[in-house]
Amino acid sequence: MREKQAWLADAEVLYRFLSDTPEPPRQADLILALGSHDRRVPDYAAAVYHSGAAPLLVCTGGLGRMTRDLWTEPEAEIFARRCRELGVPAERLLTEPRSTNTGENFVFTQELLASRGISPRSALIVCKPYMHKRALATGQKQWPEVRWHIGTPRLSFAEYFPGGPPPQEVTIMVGDLQRLDVYAERGFQTPVEVPQEVRLAWARLVADGFDQQLI
């Protein structure tokens, strides 16, 4: 493995690319908080709700590849409880606790809302910052009737990873970049163009051993 500063620089290249999406509109019909191992996500989601950006918040997620060995309670339930603690009214909060991957987050949420007669036309996704591009591409493919935007607060690499990312987080980013290609090929999400400089940074990180989350 290269010196720490070298792989940290490449990790920042991946982070900046994966988190870079257009600014969201001020108003939408729905906030969709995607489950993950990052317990900061419900804090972001509650802040977006309290900003008045949308009247309904859905927390989605069962136990996925990163949480099935960490938690015994669905991600959605953990996130929803935190949102209630932060003042989101229970009547404005729904949970979808069955999904185990990003595609199911959207498919099962659509089923949940349809069962209640709710058909959003626009929505804000709240998730880990480095999941922005993959989440947006997945929503566009799996639920194209909705205009999807990213609502997570914009955080720099240093703001999201004070002191630098743990190696495990770098492996997840490496895996997520690969999934942009693989999942588009499999029809799970819309294609995302990846610049050559990002691909080169990714290849160096794989060579450094950050390959545990590759498909």
Using CA atoms, how far residue 183 sits from 81, 124, 138, 215, in Å, is 31, 22, 9, 10
The set of residues, in sequence order, having a beta carbon less than 8 Å from that of 25 and lying 6+ positions away, is 122, 149
Whole-angstrom distance, CA of residue 138 vs CA of residue 113: 18
Whole-angstrom distance, CA of residue 148 vs CA of residue 139: 7
Per-residue pLDDT of the chain (215 residues; tens, 9 = 90+): 789 999 999 999 999 999 999 999 889 999 999 999 999 999 999 999 999 999 999 999 998 877 888 888 999 999 999 999 999 999 999 999 999 999 999 999 999 999 999 999 999 999 999 999 999 999 999 999 999 999 999 999 999 999 999 999 999 999 999 999 999 999 999 999 999 999 999 999 999 999 999 99
Residue 196 located in a structural domain = yes
Residue 184 located in a structural domain = yes
Using CA atoms, how far residue 215 sits from 8, 77, 80, in Å, is 22, 28, 30
Here the CATH number for the domain that contains residue 60 is: 3.40.50.620
Q: Let me know whether 40 and 68 are in one domain.
A: yes
Q: Let me know whether 143 and 116 are in one domain.
A: yes
Whole-angstrom distance, CA of residue 12 vs CA of residue 6: 10
pTM for the structure as a whole: 0.95
**Structural domain containing residue 12:** 4-17+157-207
